[in-house]
């Protein structure tokens, strides 16, 4: 074989080797494909005035919704996407004709719109205070002697709490059926007063204690039914300790004549509600 024939035979093999080397080099320098960021949690907010953010100001509608309440705060987090805020001040667990947008109506609307569904990841609920007559109790305890305040709370608890328990069971069952894959977070109610400061603001000190104990009774019912349905109960009493009315740094509203009295302030939602929920639920772990 002469040199011309030899070089002709070698050239195709060199070209093939060079192409293979180039392909290997290109493949070797390409980094791993970046993983897609996790999808934000599909979040639905349900509940009463303590859910809508009443007390914080900057209201956007007649239901007392505000970006300064818990739903608005959660919606600012990158892991959470608020797809429906059905909360409304005055809402009850059991439907009251002619009243606010009550919880069963909120759930029905959220289901009809497709917001509350098997694809929902997170639901927050605050409900029960209106059914237990918080407003009526506050009125009696603010205007009558402590003995009458205590008696009214005892009668109210005996009549309202059994009905509340049944209504919560029905409500939680409906939510669980509509959003079977969701983490459902049920918030209790904070103490509105700090009687340990011995400041007779709005109520006598002894009546403040009685009102707080009445709140504890309502929270016990809410916790019991929430946990029975596999939901996460968030206790707000500890977070608000030392921040009730009568304290030097209250997170509860009270201005004479104000419509949103006896509700958390913007600071109460920001420094009370949000940390309490965040410590109970790991949003990153819930993301898919």
How many Å apart are CA 163 and CA 132, to the nearest integer?
A: 9
Of these residues, 126, 191, 207, 263, which one is catalytic? Answer: 263
The reported pLDDT for the residue numbered 35 is: 67
Give 187-219 pLDDT, tens digit per residue. 999 999 999 999 999 999 999 999 999 999 999
Report whether pLDDT(26) > 80. Answer: no
189 belongs to a structural domain:
yes
Is 96 domain-assigned?
Answer: yes
Distance CA 186, CA 184 (A): 6
Residue 263 is among the residues annotated as catalytic for this protein: yes
Residue 162 located in a structural domain: yes
Report the 3 state secondary structure along 86-123. CCCCCCCCCCCCCCCCCHHHHHHHHHHCCCCCCCCCEE
**What is the C-alpha to C-alpha distance for residues 25 and 220, in angstroms, rounded to an integer?**
66
Quote the pLDDT of residue 32: 62
pTM above 0.85, yes or no: yes
Taking a C-beta distance cutoff of 8 angstroms, is the pair 249, 243 a contact? yes
Q: Tell me how many domains the chain contains.
A: 1
The reply to whether 229 belongs to the active site is: no
Confidence of residue 31 (pLDDT cuts 50, 70, 90): low
CB count in 10 Å sphere of residue 217: 15
Of 82-96, 157-171, 274-288, the least confident: 274-288
CA distance 235 to 105: 26
In a domain, 184, yes or no: yes
- The pLDDT value recorded for residue 284 is 87
Residue at 205 is within a domain:
yes
Catalytic pick among 42, 49, 126, 247: 49
Check which CATH number belongs to the domain holding 178 and give it: 3.40.50.1110
CB 47 within 8 A of CB 91: yes
On whether residue 268 sits in a domain, the answer given is: yes
Is 33 a member of any domain? Answer: no
Cα distance between residue 104 and residue 93, in whole Å: 7
Position with higher pLDDT, 31 vs 251: 251
- Determine the pLDDT at residue 157: 94
Q: Which domain covers residue 143, as residue numbers?
A: 41-286
So what's the pLDDT on residue 18? 46
In a domain, 56, yes or no: yes
Residue closest to 238 by CA, chosen among 183, 187, 186: 187
- How many Å is the maximal CA-CA distance in the chain? 122
Q: Where are the alpha helices (H) located in 126-273, listed in sequence order? A: 134-143, 146-178, 205-228, 266-268
User: Of all residues in the chain, what percent are helix, strand and coil, respectively (each to 5)?
Assistant: 45, 10, 40
């Amino acid at each position: 074989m002469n040199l011309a024939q030899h070089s002709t035979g070698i050239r195709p093999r060199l070209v093939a080797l060079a192409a293979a080397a180039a392909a290997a080099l290109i493949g070797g320098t390409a980094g791993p494909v970046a993983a897609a960021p996790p999808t934000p949690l599909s979040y639905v907010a349900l509940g009463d005035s303590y859910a809508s953010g009443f007390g914080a100001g900057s209201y956007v509608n007649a239901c007392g919704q505000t970006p300064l309440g818990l739903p608005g705060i959660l919606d600012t987090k990158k892991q959470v996407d608020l797809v429906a805020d059905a909360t409304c001040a005055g809402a009850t667990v059991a439907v009251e004709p002619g009243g606010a947008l009550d919880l069963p109506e909120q759930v029905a609307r959220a289901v009809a719109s497709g917001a509350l569904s098997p694809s929902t990841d997170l639901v927050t609920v605050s409900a029960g205070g209106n059914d237990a007559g918080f407003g009526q109790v506050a009125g009696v305890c603010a205007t009558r002697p402590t003995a009458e305040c205590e008696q009214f709370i005892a009668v109210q608890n005996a009549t309202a709490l059994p009905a509340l328990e049944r209504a919560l069971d029905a409500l939680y069952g409906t939510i669980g059926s509509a959003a079977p894959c969701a983490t459902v977070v049920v918030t209790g109610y904070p103490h509105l007063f700090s009687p340990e400061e011995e400041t007779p603001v709005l109520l006598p000190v002894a009546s403040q204690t009685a009102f707080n104990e009445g709140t504890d009774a309502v929270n016990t019912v809410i916790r019991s039914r929430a946990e029975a349905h596999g939901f996460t109960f968030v206790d707000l009493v500890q977070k608000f300790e030392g921040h009730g009315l009568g304290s030097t740094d209250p997170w509860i509203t009270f201005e004479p004549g104000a419509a949103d009295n006896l509700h958390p302030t913007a600071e109460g939602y920001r420094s009370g509600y949000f940390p309490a929920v965040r410590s109970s639920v790991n949003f990153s772990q819930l993301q898919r």
